[in-house]
Amino acid sequence: MPEKNEKLKRSAVFLDQGGTIIYDDRRDKNITRDSFIPGAFEALRKLQEKHLLFIVTNQSSVGLGKMSREDAECLNSNVMKMLVEGGIRITEHYACMHKRDDECECIKPKPFFLHKAAEEYLVDLQSSFVIGDHPHDVEFGEKVGAKGLYVLTGHGEKHRGDLPHGVTVFSSVNEASDWIIQQ
């Protein structure tokens, strides 16, 4: 018999930020509607009808000294502000600002933020999805039983050959959202 809390668990969609919902070359904190990949707002509006939405982003440019922590936090805050203005509800925005060789616990594909969301927001990871433009985004989701979806925006086309066999690939987050809704 399932635990009482099992009935309360919800599915979620975990979205990479750069290259998935905003253009990946964003290293400045100024965000406008044009900073978002076409169709992102529409996709997120559709997804939020049945799923909690989270952003999980690696911002190693901070750890590498290419961007200050303050500017990265301002960028993230501005992304969230634009999404709210567009009618999008993001449950939580998680950002790892370490460089890969710091070997931190929060950098994707380590599932730290997925476990955190599952615990804090009663997310059922096995009925959830991860959308991103790097092979580590797919691995990130699949480590916990979520379905990893790959988009060809951002770095997607460049790293497509690095994907394991059988990964579901879409042209954009909008196309991926349509697929999720049909599941």
Cα separation of 143 and 126, whole Å?
A: 10
pLDDT given for residue 6 in this prediction: 60
Exposed/middle/buried for 84, CB within 10 Å: 0-12, 13-18, 19+? exposed
pLDDT in the model for residue 25: 66
Compute the average pLDDT of residues 176-183.
97
- Which of these, 52, 12, 22, 13, lies nearest to 133 by C-alpha position? 22
Q: Report the pLDDT averaged over residues 31-48.
A: 95
Report CA torsion sign: 49, 29, 133, 125. negative
Q: For 51-57, what is the mean pLDDT?
A: 98
Q: Average of pLDDT values for 102-128?
A: 97
2 to 8, 59, 182: CA distances (angstroms): 11, 38, 26
Model pLDDT, residue 113:
98
Which domains are delineated in the chain?
A: 4-182 (3.40.50.1000)
Q: Give residue 159's Cα distance to chain centre.
A: 17
The residue count of the chain comes to: 183
DSSP calls for 97-130 = -S-GGG--SSSTTS-HHHHHHHHHH-B-GGG-EE
Burial of 1 (0-12, 13-18, 19+ CB in 10 A): exposed
Higher pLDDT, 30 or 56: 56
Confidence of residue 31 (pLDDT cuts 50, 70, 90): confident
- For residues 99-125, give the mean pLDDT: 96
